[in-house]
Amino acid sequence: MRAISAKKIQDTVAELCIRANIFLRRDVLKALKSASKKETNKRAKELLEATIKNARIAGKDKLAICQDTGMPVVFVEIGRDLKIKGDLKSAINKGVESGYIKGSLRNSVITDPILRGTPKYSPAIIHIDTVKGNKLKLTVLPKGFGCENKSQLKMFKPTANIREIKKFILDAVKDAGPDACPPYVLGVGIGGTADYACLLAQKALLRDIGIGNRQVEIKLLELELLRQVNKLNIGPMGLGGRTTVLAVNIETHSTHIAGLPVAVNISCHALRSATKTL
């Protein structure tokens, strides 16, 4: 059986924290550039150009794209024919700490949500899944809280129609308005349980912009929502323009006969993540 050491996992997580926070995802940068070209509102165009310039400076000066380097969320896919030597979760948290320190990122994690205290770098939020094979896939998604604060969940009736669902998603964007650094990327989770819909919405942000859902009906819904949201005229910084959202990524899952959970995870324009397979 193939084996992998906790130290190797720790070092990889550290590297991914730095990469995610400093180098903007290629698909996000491409979407920003394409939006900037198409934008007809002069100020919106200028603001989009500033975000593109910011990404360039961050990469060049090795600075975080955003000062909010997020709550680190780590997704782990473990091949069932792989053995991990050591403690996986502690390796991930140690990796987060060393990566955040090495990258001069921000300590934004509060140990006790009520008592608060001095912010630290970890623990990360960790999602572990098992898959076929003998590989280990690690993904770090630093989630800033300006936009995380605007995420929403609604438990619809099973008889709800698609119009109601679309309205909920549109309203979530209107509610976020200018506050959460538009243009946004919307991660939407439909189905499962309340918690699982939220997880799907978050995972949807990991899919590259421009790659639609594999199911044609859902892909069409993504495009339809994108078109409708971009008519809201919120625009970059909420100051108007046709670029309110860069992409809508929807993920679905089976659910219960009595319900239809829908979650929207809003990401700011600095959608950051990095992945490596060991």
* Interface positions with another protein (CB under 8 A): 47, 50-51, 53-55, 57-58, 61-69, 101, 104-108, 116, 118-119, 146, 149, 177-181, 237-239, 268-270
Q: Looking at beta carbons only, is 149 or 161 nearer to another protein?
A: 149
**Separation CA 23–CA 21 (nearest Å):** 6
CB 43, min distance to another protein, A: 8
Please work out, in degrees rounded to the nearest 5, the angle formed at the alpha carbon of residue 278 by the alpha carbons of 200 and 109.
50
CB 119, min distance to another protein, A: 5
**Residue 69 · residue 93 · CB < 8 Å:** no
Q: Looking at beta carbons only, is 57 or 220 nearer to another protein?
A: 57
Q: Looking at beta carbons only, is 32 or 200 nearer to another protein?
A: 32
**Residue 73 · residue 199 · CB < 8 Å:** no
* Maximum separation of any 2 CA atoms in the chain, in Å: 59
CB 42, min distance to another protein, A: 12
If one counts every other C-beta atom within 10 angstroms of the C-beta of residue 22, the result is 22
CB 237, min distance to another protein, A: 5
**Residue 164 · residue 226 · CB < 8 Å:** no
CB 187, min distance to another protein, A: 17
H-run or E-run covering 69 = none
Q: Looking at beta carbons only, is 69 or 252 nearer to another protein?
A: 69
Q: Looking at beta carbons only, is 154 or 272 nearer to another protein?
A: 272
